[in-house]
Amino acid sequence: MNLSDPLRDTVRWLSAHARFPASRLETKAETLLCVAALAAAEEAAALAGARHLIKSRDGAKDAAARDYAYRRSKVHYVCDNSAKV
């Protein structure tokens, strides 16, 4: 699986769009980009550890549950004694 590195992507973006390291952005702008890259790297690391928490659906189990509910709905007869004579 090819996961990108946010810090490497930021340096590539800086070199492509701001001619980094020959010229630099303003200090605040570079700081903001670096903080955003660090946050993205941290988020990517957290998601990499939680990759297998989602369980796949079992189609046969879902179909069996639907069939069971359908059969139960057919078995129970509701008597309406509200009609006045």
Domain boundaries, the chain: 1-52
> For the whole prediction, is pTM greater than 0.75?
no
pLDDT at 50: 64
Q: Which residues of 4-37 are buried (b: 16+ CB within 10 A; e: fewer)?
A: eebeeebbeebeeeeebeeeeeeeeeeeebeeeb
Q: Note the pLDDT tens digit of each residue in 50-80.
A: 665 566 788 899 999 999 999 888 876 666 6
pLDDT at 3: 56
